[in-house]
Amino acid sequence: MTMDREIIDILKDNLYVRFLEELQKADWNVLTRKYENFLSRIPLSDYRERLQKIKTVEFDLSGKYRSFHLSLIYHLYWKEKYITTNDCNVSGLYRKIKEVCNFLNNHGGRIPLYKILGNFGFNTEKKFMQWLYLKEYSNNIFPSNFIDIEQHVLSNNVDFPSFKEFWSEYKNNVSLDDFINQHANFIDMDSIKSQITQEIDENNTIFNILQEEDIETEKAEELIKGYILVGLKARMYRTWVSLLTQLDLGYIWNKTIQQDKLDSDVVLDTKGIDLYGKINDSFVGIQIKKRSRRHEALKVTDSVAPIRTIDIPYDLNFENDEYLSNKLTKLANGFVIFNKNYVEDIYTLITQENTN
């Protein structure tokens, strides 16, 4: 059995099945209405005009920074996930467990998962899960004997943060010097210097954003770091918007379908599973497939993920698409959201597949 297979099986038996039950307790009418209102107020044109014009520095975000980014988004917009201590009496023989427990105790015994990923070499949530559930020390000791994951549906009173607020929290948890060191093979300082000169001459947007980030633009070293930071900001914005679309489907699904709720999570996201649930006693995943000029309808596919998944079409320019024209809605700000009838069609297909 591969590690990927093991981790999915463990999640089925533990966190995910338990949390699917928790989803039944949420008031999805309230949460969905608040989320759609939040999406409708995002100034997409402003962000796109200012951020997407930037010549982004090339980064490899496959490690802890991508996982941290996804974990933060999920924590703020979908569900709160905390690491807690359930038993502090751990022997010093188990050094890493002891260090994590001490770290938690120093923070009141409970801390958001996204804050802990980089502190102990867990580059991704998946690696943390593998250590927590699969790492066996002597005498049948597992980290899960001392440390637990606590998950909560967002409160009905939640105020979804703007991108400005999200970015502020992001910066509070990322060391720019550490980020640059991690990406030394991707960041050519000489190339960036010439790029900065050209971009400031051609695009006042970059200069204004540098000032917003409190960069001392008269200092060459700070200017370079600021330019890298703003490039990261542009990259994060694009991922942020994409994931908000994925979560929109989760909200409208859980509002529409009364019995079979779907969850969305970082570990599954990195496996290509945008939404996950249990329907007619079978585990199923959904993946949103953005498309253009292709007119395939819904289809169930055998994916690389270790559960059966269904690919659903999604297109920002859906108005003239025969299949999607009545299944998506474009808000006044340009955000495209899912309609109730699209969710019902997806659910019908899944239930038919599961009974065949």
The reply to whether 252 falls in a domain is no
The reply to whether 72 falls in a domain is yes
The reply to whether 18 falls in a domain is no
Report which of 204, 201, 222 is spatially closest to residue 213, judged by C-alpha positions. Answer: 222
Residues 60 and 188 occupy one common structural domain: yes
Residues 194 and 301 occupy one common structural domain: no
| Boundary-marking domain end, from 217, 245, 273 | 245
Which pLDDT tens digits describe the chain residue by residue (356 residues)? 454 566 566 665 667 778 888 999 999 999 999 999 999 999 998 888 888 777 767 677 777 788 888 999 999 999 999 999 987 788 888 999 999 999 999 989 999 998 887 677 787 888 888 888 888 898 889 999 999 988 899 999 989 999 999 999 999 888 888 888 878 777 777 788 888 888 777 777 788 888 888 888 788 888 888 888 888 898 889 889 999 999 999 999 999 999 899 999 888 887 788 999 888 888 888 999 886 544 455 554 545 455 678 888 999 999 988 889 999 999 999 999 999 999 999 999 888 865 55
| Boundary-marking domain end, from 176, 211, 245 | 245
Q: What is the rounded CA–CA span in Å between residue 180 and residue 189?
A: 10
Residues 144 and 163 occupy one common structural domain: no
Report which of 109, 81, 84 is spatially closest to residue 18, judged by C-alpha positions. Answer: 81
Tokens of 50: 């200012």
Give the structural domain span for 186: 30-78+157-245
Q: What is the rounded CA–CA span in Å between residue 166 and residue 277?
A: 28
Residues 94 and 58 occupy one common structural domain: no
The reply to whether 23 falls in a domain is no
What is the DSSP secondary structure assignment for residue 162, as one 8-state letter? P
Residues 87 and 109 occupy one common structural domain: yes
pLDDT value at position 281?
A: 83
The reply to whether 323 falls in a domain is yes
Residues 282 and 351 occupy one common structural domain: yes
This prediction has a pTM of 0.88
The reply to whether 271 falls in a domain is yes
Residues 143 and 173 occupy one common structural domain: no
| Boundary-marking domain end, from 135, 153, 171 | 153
The reply to whether 282 falls in a domain is yes
Q: What is the rounded CA–CA span in Å between residue 170 and residue 23?
A: 27
pLDDT value at position 7?
A: 58
Residues 208 and 310 occupy one common structural domain: no
pLDDT value at position 300?
A: 47
- Report the domain count for the chain: 3
Residues 309 and 206 occupy one common structural domain: no
Residues 70 and 85 occupy one common structural domain: no
Q: What is the rounded CA–CA span in Å between residue 114 and residue 128?
A: 11
Residues 165 and 290 occupy one common structural domain: no
- The torsion defined by the Cα of 135, 138, 143 and 146, in degrees rounded to 10, comes to 170
Residues 209 and 67 occupy one common structural domain: yes
The reply to whether 255 falls in a domain is no
